[in-house]
């Protein structure tokens, strides 16, 4: 006797695991690109200190010293990333997949699985290449990881970077070393607001943020940084779902994002990037 067995499709999508954006704690939006493609930032020099000539014995007519001029140079910050995507979802495909293939949910998936990882990857790469402190690559172990982090905080201290608001970016591999290091006590008592931004612990006043390795350079070990150093504008984030546009029976999804990241010249020493040796 022949029996036809039933094949059943569940109204469920096996979504990929993705992580939320990680750049908000380590970048700022201090400048606006509204109405402009390029922003120029001034860098102003200072004057040297002199011993005041109370007796008036020095040459010249000023007891304060030789009058100097201040230099006013500029940095140009020009947006370079203008990215887009588009796809269509046929009306019958939407109907015959139990509404699982739909424009709005597909757009959310695109943002979660493609856009956020791309922007994070670009920003972190710009921070690593623009860091003011880039010691030679080393092998990080559970015995030396704490000393290396202390070197990073010392470098930021010497650069007079702000004491509060510093962040320690680690890969899952480096985070494992932190957990195994006998000299480190991770404080997991983190405020809910910080957890929503990706902070998982505190160590020596640094907010620890764990970032997937695929969003970081290949030899990334860790990075200690402060958000004042990096400007990461997203000038345009434009996403649309068109229902039954000309030529398509269904949804047409379009998106465009204009963004970039800039490490400021006078603040680059607020970034310390430690690479690891290739395996």
The confidence score (pLDDT) of residue 43 equals: 86
68 with 86, same domain?
no
Give the pLDDT band (50/70/90) at residue 95. Answer: confident
Residues 146 and 194 in one domain: yes
Look at residue 14 in the predicted model and tell me its pLDDT. 54
In this structure, the answer to whether residues 155 and 218 fall within a common structural domain is yes
Mean pLDDT of the chain: 87
Residue 139 covered by a domain? yes
Strands 81-90 and 250-259 come out as antiparallel
Residue 4 lies in a domain: no
Domain boundary pick from 26, 48, 78: 78
- Written as one string, the DSSP assignment of 131-172 is -SB-PPPB---TTTHHHHHHHHHHHHHHTT--STTEEEEE-H
Tally of domains within the chain: 2
| Residue 8 maps to a domain | no
Same domain, 66 and 84: no
Look-up of token digits 């890969």:
171
Residues 155 and 48 in one domain: no
* pLDDT value of position 1: 59
Alpha-carbon distance 81 to 122, whole Å? 10
Which residues, at least 6 apart from 259, have a Cβ–Cβ distance to it below 8 Å?
79, 81, 83, 119, 122, 232, 233, 234, 235
Statement: residue 202 has pLDDT above 80:
yes
In a shared domain, residues 44 and 137 = no
pLDDT at residue 109 is higher than 50: yes
Q: Is 18 a member of any domain?
A: no
**Which residues span the domain enclosing 83?**
79-275
> Quick one: angle between helices 145-158 and 172-180, nearest 10?
110
Q: Could you tell me if residue 69 is inside a domain? A: yes
For the cut 50, the answer to whether the pLDDT of residue 56 exceeds it is yes
The answer to whether position 104 is within a domain reads yes
Do 132 and 240 lie in one domain? The reply is yes
Mark whether 109 and 223 lie in a shared domain. yes
pLDDT bracket for residue 4 (50, 70, 90) = low
Percent with pLDDT over 70 in the chain = 91
| For residues 85-92, average pLDDT | 89
Is 74 found in the same domain as 84?
no
Domain membership of residue 21 (yes or no) is no
The predicted-structure confidence for 217-251, as pLDDT tens digits, reads as follows: 999 999 999 999 999 999 999 999 999 999 999 99
Same domain, 260 and 134: yes
Whether residue 12 lies inside any domain: the answer is: no
Which residue did the predictor score with more confidence, 254 or 18?
Answer: 254
Say yes or no: 73 and 128 in one domain: no
Whether 6 has a pLDDT exceeding 80, the answer reads: no
Q: 238: helix, coil or strand?
A: strand
What single DSSP character describes residue 16?
P
- Model pLDDT, residue 8: 46
Alpha-carbon distance values, 214 to 18, 76, 128, 240 (Å): 12, 30, 14, 28
Would you say residue 16 has pLDDT above 70?
no
- Across 10-14, average pLDDT: 53
Q: What are the pLDDT digits (tens) for 125-173?
A: 999 999 999 999 999 999 999 999 999 999 999 999 999 999 999 999 9
Per-residue confidence (pLDDT) for residue 17, from 0 to 100: 54
pTM for this entry = 0.86
User: Concatenated DSSP letters for 35-90?
Assistant: T-SEEEEEEE--PPP----TT--SSSS-TT----PPPEEEEEEE--EEEEEEEEEE
User: Same domain for 241 and 192?
Assistant: yes
Shortest CA distance to 102 belongs to which of 113, 89, 85?
Answer: 89
């Amino acid at each position: 006797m022949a029996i036809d067995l039933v094949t059943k499709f569940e109204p469920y999508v096996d979504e990929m695991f993705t992580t939320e954006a990680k750049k908000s704690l380590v970048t700022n939006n201090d400048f606006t690109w509204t109405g402009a493609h390029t922003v120029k930032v001034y860098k102003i020099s200072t004057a040297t200190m002199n011993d005041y000539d109370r007796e008036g014995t020095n040459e010249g007519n000023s007891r304060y010293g030789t009058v100097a001029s201040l230099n006013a140079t500029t940095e140009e910050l020009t947006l370079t990333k203008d990215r887009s995507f588009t796809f269509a979802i046929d009306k019958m495909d939407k109907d015959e997949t139990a509404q699982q293939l739909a424009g709005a949910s597909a757009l959310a998936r695109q943002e979660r699985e493609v856009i956020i990882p791309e922007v994070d990857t670009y920003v972190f790469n710009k921070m690593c290449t623009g860091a003011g402190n880039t010691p030679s690559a080393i092998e990080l172990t559970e015995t030396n990881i704490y000393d290396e982090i202390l070197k990073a905080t010392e470098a930021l201290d010497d650069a007079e970077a702000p004491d509060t608001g510093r962040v320690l970016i680690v890969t899952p591999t480096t985070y494992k070393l932190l957990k195994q290091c006998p000299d480190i006590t991770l404080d997991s008592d983190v405020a809910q607001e910080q957890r929503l931004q990706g902070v998982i612990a505190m160590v020596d006043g640094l907010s620890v943020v764990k970032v997937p390795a695929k969003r970081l350079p290949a030899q990334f070990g860790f990075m200690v940084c402060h958000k004042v150093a990096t400007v990461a504008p997203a000038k345009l984030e434009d996403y649309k779902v068109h229902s039954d546009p000309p030529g398509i029976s269904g949804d047409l999804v379009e998106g465009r994002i204009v963004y970039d990241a800039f490490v400021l010249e006078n603040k680059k020493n607020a970034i310390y990037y430690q690479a690891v040796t290739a395996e």
